[in-house]
Amino acid sequence: MAEYLRPETLKPALEALGAAPWSVLAGGTDFYPARVDQVPDDDVLDISAIEDLRAIEERADHWRLGALTTWSDIITADLPPLFDGLKLVARQVGGVQVQNRGTLGGNLCNASAAADGVPPLLSLGASVELSSAQGTQNLAFEDFILGSRRTALGADQLLTAVILPKPRQARAAGHFLKLGARKYLVISIVMVAANVEIDEGGNVSAARLAVGACSEIACRLPALEEALVGRPCGAALGEFVAPAHLAHLAPLDDLRGSAAYRRDAALTLVRRTLNELGARA
């Protein structure tokens, strides 16, 4: 008989993980679909009752989003414009049923190439907090996702929180565009997240962009980020974007789109994301 453990605090959860292998379950929206033809028979550590993992907190120099933060939590939370991109992600994940249950931590740990949560966190300069019975470790988000469905998470670790640094400038905003072949319940063909900080003169002082579903893992656009610095923020912010800025993407052909299409669509989406962001920020 398979075990099912649902502790209410972190400590017993981490102790259990330290002692034996468990399948971790949070919102279950990736867990169950992966077992569609089966009656689940793994030993399951259900972390959903650990209330401490569900808070969204503002701290002095960063925001802390508990791993169990659901997409619906993100939609309803009172957050600054910096998080606009993340909110747009949340509104477009699955349908409301999935938003009510799916967690940020689950999305990141599942580490699908099409995980919509990944590009905005890259664009926010996030790090993740990993905990085990041995202690807690902070890891830059870029170092956490290693590949499609591969992360740096140890077998004895849980992802406990996502840490988002506050911007240096007072004016900072994020944006997100997702391309799919239908309106609701759709896996991204390409998605783009961007965050910019604007200085007092109205120019971009820092920018981060990430493109998803165009390489094994979502990737940043460093050349473009650099080229954005110093540009006046406005509705034409993205007009200068050129294919060379995206040259390092390595999209694949699949059911949802050809590699050439992805590359082409990514360029359009990056340009539009920046234009829309520039108009608002």
Ligand X SMILES: Cc1cc2nc3c(=O)[nH]c(=O)nc-3n(C[C@H](O)[C@H](O)[C@H](O)COP(=O)(O)OP(=O)(O)OC[C@H]3O[C@@H](n4cnc5c(N)ncnc54)[C@H](O)[C@@H]3O)c2cc1C
Q: At 65, phi and psi to the nearest 5?
A: -110, 115
169 binds, among ligand X, another protein, none (CB under 5 to 8 A by kind): none
CB distance 180 to 262 below 8 Å: no
- Choose the binding region for another protein from 143-151, 155-163, 166-174, 252-260 (rule: CB under 8 A): 252-260
CB nearer to ligand X: give 114 or 224.
114
One residue of 36, 60, 78, 201 binding another protein per CB under 8 A: 36
SS3 45: strand
Rounded to whole angstroms, the Cα distance separating 161 from 87 reads: 17
Binder among 79, 93, 217, 249 for ligand X (CB under 6 A): 93
- Using alpha carbons, select from 103, 97, 116 the residue that is nearest to residue 31: 103
Q: Choose one: 161-169, 184-192, 207-215, 240-248; the region binding another protein (CB under 8 A).
A: 184-192
Give the DSSP letter of residue 189. Answer: S
> Which range, of 26-34, 132-140, 222-230, 236-244, touches ligand X by CB under 6 A?
26-34
> Cβ of residue 236: shortest distance to ligand X, in angstroms?
30
Chain-centroid distance, C-alpha 55: 17
Q: Is-contact 224 209, C-beta < 8 A?
A: yes
Q: Which stretch binds ligand X (CB under 6 A): 92-100, 198-206, 244-252, 265-273?
A: 92-100
- Which two tokens mark 236? 């034409």
Q: Which does 247 bind (CB under 5 to 8 A by kind): another protein, ligand X, none?
A: none
- For residue 193, give both structure tokens: 């997240």
Which tokens belong to 175? Answer: 């944006």
Q: Which residue ranges make up the site for another protein (CB under 8 A)? A: 1-2, 4, 6, 25, 27-29, 31-33, 36-42, 44, 46, 48-49, 72, 94-98, 100-101, 179, 181-187, 189, 254-258, 260-262, 264-265, 268-269
